[in-house]
Structure 1
């Protein structure tokens, strides 16, 4: 029996505060789901994170369909390699994206996560969270956060401070002791975190970009994964996105919750394997 899958997506804003297409990408396949969150670029010379995420999603989805039994990390590595080769991307100077892949058979459910787009499987024991937390431990630079906290708001000065922070964080990207993300180095795929669950044990699986998980991890307007699941199931996935957006609208200048953009892109997937 196939799971019941629902998806909700909503664009945020760019670094200049204007509305633009979402850089999150969700693809639902017969036996897999892919969720990517393209990193917003602060370098106008680079393609956008959404551009990269869209191309990586296409390559990865084709491989998941064509090679359903191949190791997930091997499929991701091949997809990263192809995108980098076809578009002349160079490690360290290329757009990037998080990756979350869910794949299931009649007996097992597999998850792979690279960077901060978690997968949460609910069993009789509660939520089992598959998350890559390495990026959260990296130095991020306090400048733009301190500036927002003191009332500096969003604007050109914010962008300059954010660019400095991003450049500092980038030195830790895809290196030992740092954090790993899909970019132009296929080896990053084998640094992903993995989990496998017996299918009969799993009732529901959640997948989300950080534009949704911030409602739990940063704003605290959702008290935990069970609360997010319950709201999504009872009132619909859009209700979850609304709660997060309402919190952000209450803090339009980022003073309470300093963050790169007033509103991030949102992507949420709920896959119900059993009632």
Structure 2
């Protein structure tokens, strides 16, 4: 599996996305924006959390190439929680949080995990399959000010923060590696190409393969600037710009064949 990635902050802001690549796996994290004036109970922010969680996940996946991905995530969340338990109020429902997407190659299979609104997409003999945890999109009462009421609760949505049990709510699966041509993991700053701007996942794959992952992010910025009304229709989820990250994983055999 050959890996390539690009990440870019929303214009004028710090990038709270984070990527970890290693032989055999890729981790994509999207720190949830904290609103001014809301007490998180934590001396850290999402930027710290994505780096701390990324490091813990990478250590677990590097140590055990067969560990179940949801188990690895639960352990990583617990380890990060322990790192700031002495300085922060971990019972605060607004504690920093992050989405998680993982793809992992092991003998015979490609594994994936998705928690909250990042996406994993792969192409095999049956076409294109997208795995998206879209529970936030179906919450009638959800907005950025009332998020704490539905976060990491049954009937709400789940995200990586201070509760290891959130990992058990992730979407996980495995596909035979000899059937997969290519795989992608991206944050919602990239999936808006499909969700809001009308592209199909095959078109996103084509952008990333022809021009590299950066080309997909350039397309995002072009749409955000030229067609902001499409985002405005999203109402509560509207942001004209967002951090954008894409990891492209390509089968070595697929790349060599030029298929």
* TM-score by shorter chain over 0.5: yes
1:188 aligned residue:
166
For the pair 1:20 / 2:18, whether they are aligned, the reply is: no
Any runs of at least 4 consecutive aligned residues in structure 1 with deviations exceeding 6 A, and if so which? Answer: none
Aligned with residue 202 of structure 1, among 180, 197, 200: 180
**RMSD over aligned Cα, in angstroms?**
1.8
Using the TM superposition, give the Cα deviation of residue 135 of structure 1 relative to its aligned residue in structure 2, in angstroms: 1.4
2:202 aligned residue:
226
1:128 aligned residue:
129
2:107 aligned residue:
106
- 5 Å matches for 1:17-166? 19-43=12-36, 45-46=39-40, 47-88=44-85, 89=88, 90-91=90-91, 92-139=93-140, 165-166=143-144
Distance in structure 2 (CA, Å) of the matches to 1:140 and 1:97: 20
Distance in structure 1 (CA, Å) of the matches to 2:24 and 2:219: 30
| 1:164-185 CA-partner distances (Å, limit 9, x unpaired) | x323232111111111100100
Using the TM superposition, give the Cα deviation of residue 83 of structure 1 relative to its aligned residue in structure 2, in angstroms: 0.9
Unaligned runs of 5+ in 1: 14-18, 142-164
Distance in structure 2 (CA, Å) of the matches to 1:239 and 1:81: 36
Superposition TM-score, scaled by structure 1 size: 0.83
Using the TM superposition, give the Cα deviation of residue 251 of structure 1 relative to its aligned residue in structure 2, in angstroms: 4.7
Using the TM superposition, give the Cα deviation of residue 93 of structure 1 relative to its aligned residue in structure 2, in angstroms: 3.1
| 1:204-255 CA-partner distances (Å, limit 9, x unpaired) | 00111000001110122x2x11111012112222221111101111256865
* 8 Å CA contact 1:140, 1:166 repeated in 2: no
Aligned with residue 195 of structure 2, among 205, 217, 227: 217
Distance in structure 1 (CA, Å) of the matches to 2:226 and 2:241: 11
| 1:182-207 CA-partner distances (Å, limit 9, x unpaired) | 01000000111111100000000011
1:6 aligned residue:
4
Distance in structure 1 (CA, Å) of the matches to 2:122 and 2:228: 33
Superposition TM-score, scaled by structure 2 size: 0.88
Instruction: Report the count of equivalent residues.
Output: 243
Distance in structure 1 (CA, Å) of the matches to 2:84 and 2:36: 17
Using the TM superposition, give the Cα deviation of residue 111 of structure 1 relative to its aligned residue in structure 2, in angstroms: 0.4
